Amino acid sequence: MDFASLLGIISGIALIVVAIFLGGNPDVFINVPGLMIVAGGTIAATLLTVQFRDVLNAFRAAWIVFTRDKTNAQEMIDTMLELSRISHRHGLLMLGDIETDSRVLQRAANLLAEAASEQVIRNTLQNEIDSLIARHHTVQDVFRKMAMYAPAFGMLGTLIGLIQMLSALQDPETIGPAMAIALLTTFYGSLLATVVFLPIAGKLRARTLSEVTNLEIIREGCISILTNDHYAHVYEQLSSYLPEANRKPLRMGSKQKTETGDSSKPKPQGNKA
């Protein structure tokens, strides 16, 4: 579970709720018609803009943000180094027997085992990267649109409230409460946009960048393995994807710790992409 995402959204909502309770009567912040206008209007406008399937995929991806840890580039580098070790010891054909959770890594290993050309491997994995970016952009766009529509419907609800208030100016005592109710929809719209929709879109974008980095590591690692680069050369090339402070030192020879243990049945644990 990504505790940073969960902590962020819970702490943001909690601070706002505490501020409301400290400021006085929290009941004045509850207005069912205003919630209906903002929430219902935002969902309706989003469904008019994008396909229903994309909306479902967006909320499914948001759930993944809170339940699945971020992919680890260092683990992917270790996996590619292990594949390099296997190919040098047993040949490229052995890579077709690896077991991994990553569909892309499995496909890349099969291409290596089939002795595909460098151009085929590069084009295939680049297509995977482009496809992932396109899919994730669609998901992020759903939440960006919802972040745009929510304040707009909040303002619309405020205008409705002001119209109703102005129609009853003959009773001065109702002006204050009516104005407060009218402003609540703007509050709801801003709250949803800034605390929910925009942070989720930003988190999804960060997750996309992380997964793209992993796919690029797979691509460059496979090309290095295909060209029979030395183990240390593969490490130097792939470690450039990490900040220098986060790079693990390279261990050679018998001190090298591998992920698989038994080289006859390699099982690199790649991340899902």
pLDDT in tens, 129-145: 999 999 999 999 999 99
pLDDT of res. 255? 40
**pLDDT reading at 174 higher than 90:** no
pLDDT of res. 29? 83
Q: Which of 16-30, 35-49, 96-110, 130-144 has the lowest mean pLDDT?
A: 16-30
pLDDT of res. 246? 74
Q: Are 137 and 21 in contact (CB under 8 A)?
A: no
Q: Are 112 and 222 in contact (CB under 8 A)?
A: yes
Q: Is the torsion defined by CA of 139, 194, 180, 32 positive or negative?
A: positive
Q: Are 196 and 9 in contact (CB under 8 A)?
A: yes
**What single-letter amino acid sits at 23?**
G
Question: 3-state class of 99 per DSSP?
Answer: coil
pLDDT of res. 267? 54
Residues in contact with 42: Cβ distance below 8 Å, sequence separation at least 6, in sequence order: 146, 149, 150, 153, 189, 192
Give the domain ranges of the chain: 33-255
In this predicted model, what pLDDT tens digit does every residue of 181-201 receive, in sequence order?
788 899 999 999 998 899 899
**pLDDT reading at 271 higher than 60:** no
Q: Is the torsion defined by CA of 185, 187, 188, 190 positive or negative?
A: positive
Q: Are 203 and 65 in contact (CB under 8 A)?
A: yes
Left if phi > 0, otherwise alpha if psi is -120 to 50, otherwise beta: which for 99?
A: beta
**Please, which pLDDT band fits residue 231 given cuts at 50, 70 and 90?**
confident
The Cα 37–Cα 188 span in angstroms is 10
pLDDT of res. 101? 83
* DSSP code per residue over 66-82: HHSPPP-HHHHHHHHHH
Helices (H), the chain: 3-23, 32-35, 41-49, 52-67, 73-90, 103-113, 118-166, 175-191, 198-226, 231-239
Q: How many residues does the chain have?
A: 273
pLDDT of res. 266? 52
pLDDT of res. 148? 95
pLDDT of res. 273? 47
The Cα 20–Cα 152 span in angstroms is 23
Q: Are 191 and 33 in contact (CB under 8 A)?
A: no
What's the distance, CA 173 to chain centroid?
50
In this predicted model, what pLDDT tens digit does every residue of 52-83 receive, in sequence order?
999 999 998 888 777 777 778 888 888 888 88
